[in-house]
Amino acid sequence: MSDGSLSQDEIDALLQETDSLEIDTTMGGGGEPLSEQEKEQFLNILNEVAESQASNLNILIRKNVTLGKPVLELKSRDELAGELTEEVIEVKLDFSDGIKGEHSYLLTLESAVSIAGSMIGQPGVEIDDAALSAVAEAMSQISGTASTEIGNRIDRTVKTNPPDFKKTSKEDIRLPQGDNFVKLEYSLTLEGEAPTKLIELYSLSVVKEIAALSSRGGEQAQAGMEAAPVSPGGQPDIFGGGAAQPPGFLPGQTFGQPVGGQALGFGTGQPPPNVQPVQFANLQSSGAAGDQGNIGLLMDVFMEMTVELGRTKKLIREILGIGEGTIIELDKLAGEPVDILVNHKLIAKGEVVVIDENFGVRVTEIVSPMERMSDLT
């Protein structure tokens, strides 16, 4: 038509044509949502940290913990629901920095009771706020270990949000968005307890991003090794500059090549040295293992923990005048967080709660290292 618009008949014809179109909703335009190579890249990272995660739980729970290597599967909501008990403990730890996406852990009530009871020191605890907080701390520890290794592989600093945890029915679990997500299942055994399982969930987009970035990092490292200069004799160019020779060598001469009947620099008849690239140990891994070993020696040391409601200053005559019924005004407003001190050093702030007939404190804020250092000056 001259004005470029469509008639009603033409619009109806187009709508009828779209009814017969088949839209491909799989990621990547077709095929498996997650390729075998992507699965392998992702599992390689998590397999590396399974032992470290178990060691961290050993220290936290004060029991020997065995954590098996994960088994990866793609699942839908209905498929996962068929594998779960009616009630589960959900600890959500979404990625917030380095990569972004949904991530969580699921535990049976029995597993949660075992973990929380060991941490609190009261076997057979009820699943209350204190027990849930303990389980969330345990999951944060193993998630932190995995996040660090993922960050090392993709050359980014990877962080998660603070844990969001609850006891819930399997129908109300906050699953990653999309038709499918990635489920990892670990065998979990605590000393003296029956084996159980730990389920970890990732959104599909997060796993694909980690696998892609990890693969790219490996290719760049391999390309760097292939680009290393080699001397004309076929040995690595340890002096740099490609064809450059060390002092005293003739042009085109290599190690062990005789000059006037002798091999320069190595004596008559002495074979040329086998020059290999220098390889250094991974300082980060050994340092982390040493730190864990050292901190383990201190786990049974008692420290004085106090909760301070507030402070004030009084003259001696005012203190001498204190009697029954005297009201002492403190320097804190009603409702302000109380201070939590260890060996008289401020480490956290919290709010007062009542547990049965006893007072308790729920931690609401951990004091930053900078604030702690300023208190020492």
Mean pLDDT per 10-residue run, the chain (377 residues)?
60 57 38 82 89 84 86 92 92 93 94 87 83 90 90 90 92 90 92 89 93 77 55 51 51 51 48 61 49 64 87 88 88 86 88 84 84 62
Residue 207: the pLDDT is: 93
Contact 187, 200 (CB under 8 A): no
- 263: number of Cβ within 10 Å: 16
Q: What are phi and psi of 303, to 5 degrees?
A: -135, 145
Residue 59: the pLDDT is: 82
Burial (Cβ within 10 Å: 0-12, 13-18, ≥19) of residue 190: buried
Place of tokens 């699953």: 175
CA distance 272 to 293: 44
Tokens representing 179 are 């038709």
Tokens representing 236 are 């690595």
Residue 166: the pLDDT is: 93
Q: Tell me the whole-structure pTM to 2 decimals.
A: 0.54
Residue 23: the pLDDT is: 36
CA distance 165 to 131: 11
Residue 102: the pLDDT is: 95
Give the DSSP letter string of 289-356.
HHHHHHHHTTTT----EEEE-------HHHHHT--TT-----SS-TTPPEEEEETTEEEEEEEEEEET
For each of the domains in the chain, give its residue range(s) and CATH number, in order of start. 27-218 (3.40.1550.10), 303-318+329-377 (2.30.330.10)
Give the DSSP letter string of 192-208.
TS--EEEEEEEEHHHHH
Residue 266: the pLDDT is: 46
Residue 11: the pLDDT is: 66
Q: Torsion over CA of 169, 175, 180 and 186, rounded to 10 degrees?
A: -80
